[in-house]
Amino acid sequence: TAVAWFVLGPDPKLTYALVNAVAVLIIACPCAMGLATPMSIMVGTGRAAQLGVLFRKSEALQQLRDAKVVAFDKTGTLT
């Protein structure tokens, strides 16, 4: 499934491939949900790193959804 979506799917090909591969895994084996969460954290931190945002811990990405204010210092460090 992932290979077919990656080769034949519309852009963004990798996104469609991952989403559909995870959907097939969840339908085939519900225990695959245990794989989906770490994979989404890995993809999120990887995409953030491409954009220049680095997380020391992956838990910070999960806690960021509750943030109301984000403060920058002079060097651009988020606190």
Residues 6+ apart with CB under 8 A from 54: 48
| Confidence check: pLDDT of 77 > 90 | no
Given pLDDT bands bounded at 50, 70 and 90, which one contains residue 13?
A: very high
Longest CA–CA separation in the chain, Å: 50
Q: Where are the domains of the chain?
A: 2-53
Residue type for position 77 = T
Q: What's the pTM?
A: 0.51
List % helix, strand, coil for the chain (3-state, nearest 5).
Answer: 65, 5, 30
Out of 12, 30, 46, 73, the active site residue is 73
Whether the CA torsion 10, 16, 21, 26 is positive or negative: it is negative
User: Among this protein's residues, is 73 annotated catalytic?
Assistant: yes
Residues 2 and 18: their CA atoms lie apart, in Å, by: 6
